[in-house]
Structure 1
Amino acid sequence: MSEVPIVIHRPAGTGCRRVTIRAQVAGLARSDDDVIEFLRRAGLPDAADVLDDPRWVQWQGGHPHDYDAR
């Protein structure tokens, strides 16, 4: 299990990434805006500020902020 609370999983073939917050599936994101909305719903109002902070977010597979599988 990851030490960071937010995991943005590798891109799927459908152009999205699964997002988990504290090991709970938050949803499928097609953009950073989707991730920010999931985090806002989870109670993190300044979510845009943490997307590039490795203490908060682990990006798995592919490049961060890229939602298309290549």
Structure 2
Amino acid sequence: MASVMPVIVYPPGEDGGRRVRMDGEILGRAYGLRDIAEFLRRAGLEDVDEAYVEGSGLIEWRGGGPQVWEH
């Protein structure tokens, strides 16, 4: 497994998407937990799914937790 860097999920934008950043790099705009899991898999984390994203202490949720997707 790759070394794990803190992940920041920013508040929802006007379109409901949330920017996701890891190690200073924007991974993309997520519209749900599945998107964040996919970004983390692409960044080298293994066995990442929606439950991992929702419960991980490595993810800093700004502007609402994992259930907040509306501006």
State TM-score, norm by structure 1. Answer: 0.80
Which amino acid in 2 is paired with 1:53? S
Change over 3 Å in CA distance of 1:46–1:65 after alignment to 2: farther
CA displacement at 1:68 relative to structure 2: 1.2
**Alignment of structure 1 residues 1-70 onto 2, 5 Å:** 5-48=6-49, 50-51=52-53, 52-54=55-57, 56-69=58-71
SS at match of 2:38: helix
Contact 1:7 1:21 in 2 (8 A): yes
Q: Mean Cα displacement is larger for which, 17-26 or 59-68?
A: 59-68
Q: How many residues align?
A: 65
- RMSD over equivalenced CA pairs, Å: 1.5
Which amino acid in 2 is paired with 1:28? R
CA displacement at 1:66 relative to structure 2: 1.8
State TM-score, norm by structure 2. Answer: 0.79
Structure 1 spans left out of the alignment, 5+ residues: none
Which amino acid in 1 is paired with 2:39? F
Which amino acid in 1 is paired with 2:12? P
Contact 1:50 1:57 in 2 (8 A): no
